[in-house]
Amino acid sequence: MDRREFLKLGAMLSAAFGILNLPKPVIAALKKLDPKTIPKLIYLQGQSCSGCSVSLLQSGSPSPLTLITNYSQLAFHSDLSAVSGKKALDLIEKYISGKAGDYFLAVEGAIPEKMPEACIIGDKAFGQYIEAAAATMSGAIAVGTCASDGGIPAAEGNLTGAVSLREYYKKRSINKLVINLRGCSVHPDWVWQTIINMVKVGMPTLTDQGSPALFYSRKIHEQCPRYHDFQQEIFACKLGEAGCLFKLGCVGPDTAADCPNRWWNLSQNWCVAANAPCIGCAWPNFARKKDFPFYRISEQKNRPINRS
Ligand code: SF4
Ligand code: SF4
């Protein structure tokens, strides 16, 4: 994908999410584009709880109202679109068959590779749509940890054979652009600021995990205000105590994200500031093992934490 195509992607995604509060140069760039030629966004949900869609609606700027009233370029979203039933299925088919022009794919949730019937849209498996889209789409964003890495649907046991979007394509030797936007749920800024980055400068610099370096290049641990406590070996032994939360299962040393600086919910708070350990929701290994601290910390206080 060349720079022009990325600009197109950024413009389309911005329009799709109703991003109106953009910097002036971005608005100027958008105005130069012919609306008739701006490709659409198809937002599909697989093995997902819809939490990432809910999180996107919690953004501060643009406001949720802007998001839900200016999505004319959002060709389809199962939660937000007005169309439903056969009309919705026809619409998705029209795009994925390539008959409705350029579009980009956003995927929320994992793909049940071994049990396709676990996730059906209409009468077709979710994976069939994803595979067919690879032939016609211009690129894709994986929204959230489930789409980026498998997440909770791919946890140990994994009866459905849940895989990430990249893995699903890799197994089929499909080489298409997929940008991973991790988080369970994803931070709205990580999604729309990625889009703005694409509008302004083109392809964002990606980490070796395929995520924008702007948000995912540094570990939570090295940005954490309790890092000094960690160095001094001042550890909290139960929730609510002062000190580093490492012994309570904090996965901040493994997780790359900018939560300590960005904060959440319109900058109200973030996990460690709320005395809760980082559970590594933006870590590729999030919740993959049965003894992941997210599940078992209360039962395994004296066991070393398996971070593999
Ligand atoms: S609370 Fe977690 S992220 Fe913060 S210093 Fe301790 S281990 Fe690191
Ligand atoms: S601090 Fe950790 S668990 Fe909390 S939102 Fe950030 S990455 Fe997820």
Dist. CA 243 → ligand 1 center (Å): 9
Q: Sign of torsion, CA 53 54 55 60?
A: positive
Distance CA 165, CA 132 (A): 13
pLDDT in the model for residue 19: 44
Tokens of residue 47, six digits: 């093995």
Distance CA 307, CA 287 (A): 10
Domains, the chain: 3-214 (3.40.50.700), 218-308 (4.10.480.10)
Helix (H) or strand (E) holding 108: strand 103-108
Active site residues: 49, 52, 146, 184, 221, 224, 244, 250, 259, 271, 278, 281
Dist. CA 259 → ligand 2 center (Å): 6
pLDDT in the model for residue 259: 98
End-to-end CA distance of the chain: 34
Rg (C-alpha) for the chain, rounded Å, is 20
Instruction: Considering every ligand atom shown, identify the ligand nearest to the alpha carbon of residue 256 and give its number.
Output: 2
Distance CA 45, CA 129 (A): 11
Low-confidence ranges of the chain (pLDDT < 50): 18-23, 25-27, 29-30, 37, 71-72, 296, 299, 302-304
Dist. CA 283 → ligand 1 center (Å): 15
Please identify, by atom number, the ligand 2 atom nearest to the C-alpha of residue 279: 3
> Interior CA angle at 258 toward 254 and 264, to 5°?
115
Strand 40-45 to strand 103-108: parallel, antiparallel, or no bridges (unpaired)? parallel
Instruction: Considering every ligand atom shown, identify the ligand nearest to the alpha carbon of residue 236 and give its number.
Output: 1
pLDDT in the model for residue 41: 78
pLDDT in tens, 127-138: 999 999 999 998
For ligand 2, is residue 19 a contact (CB within 6 Å)? no
Distance CA 206, CA 127 (A): 26
CA neighbor of 22 nearest in space, from 34, 40, 10, 33 = 10
pLDDT in the model for residue 144: 98
For ligand 2, is residue 220 a contact (CB within 6 Å)? yes
CA neighbor of 230 nearest in space, from 282, 182, 278 = 278
Distance CA 257, CA 209 (A): 12
The answer, yes or no, to whether the previous bond of 308 is cis (omega within 30 of 0) is: no
For ligand 1, is residue 236 a contact (CB within 6 Å)? no
Distance CA 121, CA 117 (A): 10
Dist. CA 219 → ligand 1 center (Å): 10
pLDDT in the model for residue 104: 82
Are 4 and 26 within 8 A, CB to CB? no
Q: Which residue out of 190, 220, 227 has the highest number of ligand 2 atoms within 8 Å of its CB and is therefore the one to mutate?
A: 220
pTM above 0.75, yes or no: yes
For ligand 1, is residue 75 a contact (CB within 6 Å)? no
For ligand 1, is residue 248 a contact (CB within 6 Å)? no
For ligand 1, is residue 154 a contact (CB within 6 Å)? no
For ligand 1, is residue 244 a contact (CB within 6 Å)? yes
pLDDT in the model for residue 20: 40
pLDDT in the model for residue 45: 96
Dist. CA 265 → ligand 2 center (Å): 12
Give 235-240 contacts, CB < 8 A, sequence gap 24+.
236/275, 239/275, 239/276, 240/275
Instruction: Considering every ligand atom shown, identify the ligand nearest to the alpha carbon of residue 287 and give its number.
Output: 2
Q: What 3-state class would DSSP assign to 142?
A: strand
